[in-house]
Structure 1
Amino acid sequence: MSQTDSSSTAEQKPNKVLALYHKTRRYPFGQKLFSIMVSRMAPYFGTIKPLITELRLNHCACLIKKRHAVHNHIKTVHVIAICNGLEMAMGVMAEASIPKHLRWIPKGMSLDYTAKAGSDILCIAEVTPEQWTPGDMLVPVTAYDAQGVVVVKGHIKLWISEKPQK
């Protein structure tokens, strides 16, 4: 089977995370239900009340609503809340996209704060299929305000390794 054949097969048969996302999307408030389920697996994410708005292979978008609980002292969305949203987008994307023989763990984060975050924030994590190889992997992450202005940009470094043989 060629690499093209195997990648199209992966798109036809989603892993458990993608399958759960597609299943919950069929219900009213399905995105919210999926987001709550993910937040229960990693409870700290619940502090930002994230909403996964889009999930497909190698791409995830997570919305953080601007509300009092995520404000900083100047009443914009606190950058640490945005970091949480970016990490959630990356983690959900990674779980939904990583080839079955690999595993991942975060190793670091490097971000630039480029503008005030005075509205709801959309956090995006996206990679290419070719990036899924053992070793360090840089996942580009970007946070946008409601007007499409980049408020945070950078990458999250993952360590990708082979799963141990069973």
Structure 2
Amino acid sequence: MPSTFDLYKKFAALPQGKRLFSIAYGQKAPYFSSIHLEVQEMKPHLGQVKIPKRRSVKNHIGTIHAIAACNGLEAAMGLLAEATCPPDMRWLPKGMEVSYLAKSTTALTCTAESTETDWANGPDVPIKVKAVTTDGTVTVEGTIHLWVTPKR
């Protein structure tokens, strides 16, 4: 069975491929579809999704809800982990620490980043995450901790 990263590379090469991959990714983990994410980038040590500002992700003050932003951060982290984790290993999220820094008044770009050193120092692998508005304001940032262990 092809890996998620292999599927991304195949889809991304097609017209509308990233849009189609985004839909498929949202169906793989159905809670991701609730934020209507758009996959922007997937490669080793980088995952990036966009959350459009829609009614379904807004809170009572009309901004993107903090938990919707966290959902986007976890989706970005999942892309990174799928593209980075060695094939003989598996990953599981074990915790998330985030700070809410500003109101999310526009669509958000959620980015997850890591380094080779982060992965070499496992099994606890910290993934840096942040959500940024269209004007460049960082609204949420933090770390998602992965537990990376050999497959059985």
How high is the TM-score relative to the length of structure 2? 0.94
* Aligned residue in 1 for 2:20: 33
Task: Provide Cα deviations, 1:83-119, integer angstroms capped at 9, x if missing partner.
Answer: 0000000011101110112111011110000011000
1:27 is displaced (CA, Å) by: 2.1
Task: Provide Cα deviations, 1:61-94, integer angstroms capped at 9, x if missing partner.
Answer: 1000001110001000001000000000001110
1:132 is displaced (CA, Å) by: 1.9
Q: Provide structure 1 residue ranges, at least 5 long, that are not aligned to the other structure.
A: 1-14
* Aligned residue in 2 for 1:67: 54
1:162 is displaced (CA, Å) by: 1.3
Aligned-partner Cα distance in 1 for 2:55–2:142: 25
Find the residue that maps to 2:102 and give its secondary structure: coil
Moved over 3 A (4+): none
Aligned-partner Cα distance in 1 for 2:65–2:151: 36
Equivalent residue for 1:122, pick from 106, 109, 113: 109
Q: Does 1:53 align with 2:43?
A: no
Aligned-partner Cα distance in 2 for 1:25–1:138: 27
Question: What amino acid is aligned across from residue 56 of structure 2 in structure 1?
Answer: A
Equivalent residue for 1:137, pick from 125, 134, 145: 125
Aligned-partner Cα distance in 2 for 1:93–1:136: 15
* Aligned residue in 1 for 2:10: 23
1:17 is displaced (CA, Å) by: 2.0
8 Å contact from structure 2 (residues 48, 79) kept in 1: no
Equivalent residue for 2:31, pick from 31, 38, 44: 44
Equivalent residue for 2:81, pick from 94, 100, 105: 94
Aligned-partner Cα distance in 2 for 1:142–1:60: 11
Equivalent residue for 1:149, pick from 129, 133, 137: 137
Aligned-partner Cα distance in 2 for 1:94–1:34: 16
Find the residue that maps to 2:95 and give its secondary structure: strand
Aligned-partner Cα distance in 1 for 2:109–2:24: 19
Find the residue that maps to 2:105 and give its secondary structure: coil
The percent identity for this pair of structures is: 42
Q: Provide structure 2 residue ranges, at least 5 long, that are not aligned to the other structure.
A: none
User: How many aligned positions are there?
Assistant: 150
8 Å contact from structure 2 (residues 98, 142) kept in 1: yes
